[in-house]
């Protein structure tokens, strides 16, 4: 299999802060700052939470990326916001240029960073199809040949000679995607922003992408939607803090990505500062610390399956009582099960109290983590005071199986929960049948 995309030592560095003086006053401030010795240029640096990516007022958006994509391969690129996904996409699309390294793309490339690039509201649908098509690299003749198919795919036949400004936003998106879908590249580089619009349209976009992928084209799909990555790709590249941290089968890549986002004991982010699972939590009661007890050195639950934890909760308002809810999830964020604490007395306003909690999980060997919430005890777990996802990572070792006299390995197809041991019923009534 020959390579379609070769990426060698690719790095991109941006200057932090303003690249130039925005105004005379700004310039004067900076000069004054430098004279005093405050170093006005470094201001941008102190705001960045990743000191390892900052160097002399520059920020490494991507650093030393190496990978190859074979012809006909469909590769996903995942990573958190700010991991460098968009920069990689922009470099491969030749929108911006690398600071170091080299990329070679073999074959005709189409890169789609947005739907309907260059649409002009005053022009008609037809005019915009031509405009958008040529912007994406088609010739006018190619657009003319595909026009009927594009219009049909978008479903805008009746409005073809209406200015696009009179279109609904859905129609605009459909028309834009229809043009993009009729490009005929050998290499397709797609951003997840393509998956916009209503559910039905998103499905159609993904369906089209799937058929492109199956037609033997090389596809690079950038997303943080794990579901679409899993359904479209077999191989995945994971970016973190501007570096490539994983390149391999999608299933493992997704695991790596999820684990990377978990807030565990050795994370830089504390539970008190961690981003919450949703906005709109009242936070009358708030988690300030979460700890698992009794894990072994590889972070696994003890063989008994005992799950022991301590939750420190601070009260910011008067609450009488509370209830803690935990959902256990697998490493690809599939929920396994949930458990609820009994109703507990809340700490007094302004106080913090630590609650030791214990449960018993019969889980299959693997990596897990939890989502945890404090619920209002009167609301039957529908109103939440605080909620965190991606916390309390733990593992279940293979020893958990043999300890209970079970099998020596676990096939993932068997599920994620070890149900209670299947015991022979010691009743005379059953035995009598055999005899």
Partner 1 sequence: MNTTAPDTRASTVIEPPSGWFSLDLAEVWRYRDLLLLLTMRDISARFRQSVIGYGWAIFRPLLTAAIFTLVFSIFVRIETDVPYPIFAFAGLMPWMYFSSSLIGVTTSVVDGSALLTKVYFPRLVLPLAKVAVGLVELALQFVVLIGLMVLYRYTPGPELLLLPLFILIMVVTALAFGIWMTALNVKFRDIAMAVPFLVQIWMYLCPIVYPIDLVPQQYRTLYALNPMVGVIEGFRWALLGSVQPNWGTMGISMLVLLVVLVSGVAYFRKVETTFADII
Give me the residues that bind partner 1 (CB under 8 A), please: 2-3, 14, 19-20, 72, 90-109, 111, 113-114, 117-118, 120, 122-123, 127, 130-131, 134-140, 163, 186, 216
Q: Which two tokens stand for residue 34?
A: 């430098």
Smallest separation, CB 317 to partner 1 (Å)? 46
> CA separation (Å) from 375 to 138, 258, 290, 359, 381?
56, 25, 16, 18, 5
Q: Which residue number, 111 or 330, has a Cβ lying nearer to partner 1?
A: 111
Q: Which residue number, 192 or 376, has a Cβ lying nearer to partner 1?
A: 192
Q: Which two tokens stand for residue 37?
A: 């010795």
Q: Which two tokens stand for residue 339?
A: 């458990």
Q: Which residue number, 38 or 165, has a Cβ lying nearer to partner 1?
A: 165
Q: Which two tokens stand for residue 165?
A: 């400004």
Smallest separation, CB 201 to partner 1 (Å)? 20
Contacts of residue 145, defined as CB under 8 A and 6 or more positions apart, other chains included, come to: none
Q: Which residue number, 107 or 415, has a Cβ lying nearer to partner 1?
A: 107
Smallest separation, CB 353 to partner 1 (Å)? 51
- HSE on the CB side for 281, CA within 13 Å? 20
Q: Which residue number, 215 or 402, has a Cβ lying nearer to partner 1?
A: 215
Smallest separation, CB 172 to partner 1 (Å)? 14
Q: Which residue number, 120 or 349, has a Cβ lying nearer to partner 1?
A: 120
CB 258 within 8 A of CB 224: no
How does DSSP classify residue 410?
Answer: -
Smallest separation, CB 114 to partner 1 (Å)? 5
CB 246 within 8 A of CB 78: no
Smallest separation, CB 128 to partner 1 (Å)? 9
Contacts of residue 86, defined as CB under 8 A and 6 or more positions apart, other chains included, come to: 191, 222
The torsion angles phi and psi of 251, rounded to 5 degrees, stand at -55, -45
Smallest separation, CB 149 to partner 1 (Å)? 19
How does DSSP classify residue 163?
Answer: B
How does DSSP classify residue 304?
Answer: T
Q: Which residue number, 2 or 420, has a Cβ lying nearer to partner 1?
A: 2
Rg (CA), the chain: 27
Alpha-carbon span 87 to 78, nearest angstrom: 12
């Amino acid at each position: 299999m020959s390579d379609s995309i070769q990426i060698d030592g690719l790095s991109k560095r941006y200057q932090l802060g303003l690249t130039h003086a925005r105004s005379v006053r700004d310039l004067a401030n900076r000069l004054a700052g430098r004279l005093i010795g405050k170093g006005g240029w470094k201001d941008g640096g102190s705001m960045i939470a990743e000191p390892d990516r900052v160097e002399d007022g520059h920020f490494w958006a991507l650093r030393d990326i190496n990978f190859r994509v074979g012809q006909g391969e469909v590769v996903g690129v995942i990573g958190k916001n700010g991991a460098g996904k968009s920069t990689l996409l922009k470099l491969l699309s030749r929108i911006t240029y690398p600071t170091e390294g080299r990329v070679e793309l073999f074959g005709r490339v189409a890169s789609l960073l947005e739907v309907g690039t260059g649409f002009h509201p005053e022009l008609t649908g037809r005019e915009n199809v031509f405009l958008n098509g040529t912007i994406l690299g088609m010739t006018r003749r190619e657009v003319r040949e595909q026009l009927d198919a594009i219009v049909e795919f978008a479903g805008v036949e009746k409005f073809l000679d209406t200015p696009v400004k009179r279109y609904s936003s859905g129609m605009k998106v459909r028309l834009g995607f229809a043009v993009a879908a009729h490009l005929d590249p050998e290499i397709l580089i797609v951003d997840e922003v393509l998956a916009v619009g209503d559910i039905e349209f998103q499905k159609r976009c993904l369906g089209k992408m799937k058929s492109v992928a199956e037609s033997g084209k090389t596809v690079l799909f950038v997303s943080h939607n794990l579901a679409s990555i899993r359904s479209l790709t077999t191989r995945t590249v994971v970016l973190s803090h501007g570096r490539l941290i994983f390149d391999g089968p999608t299933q493992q890549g997704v695991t790596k990505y999820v684990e990377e986002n978990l807030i565990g004991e050795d994370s830089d982010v504390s539970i008190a500062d961690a981003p919450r699972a949703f906005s709109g939590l009242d936070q009358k009661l708030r988690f300030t610390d979460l700890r698992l007890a009794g894990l072994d050195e590889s972070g696994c639950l003890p063989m008994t399956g005992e799950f022991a934890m301590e939750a420190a909760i601070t009260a910011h308002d008067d609450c009488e009582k509370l209830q803690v809810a935990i959902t256990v999830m697998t490493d690809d964020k599939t929920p396994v099960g949930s458990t609820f604490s009994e109703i507990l007395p809340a700490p007094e306003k302004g106080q913090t109290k630590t609650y030791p909690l214990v449960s018993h999980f019969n889980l299959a060997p693997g990596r897990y983590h939890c989502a945890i919430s404090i619920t209002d005890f009167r609301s039957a777990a529908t109103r939440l005071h605080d909620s965190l996802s991606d916390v309390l990572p733990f593992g279940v070792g293979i020893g958990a199986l043999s300890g209970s006299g079970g099998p020596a390995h676990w096939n993932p197809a068997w599920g994620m929960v070890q149900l209670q041991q299947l015991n022979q019923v010691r009743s005379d009534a059953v035995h009598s049948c055999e005899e």
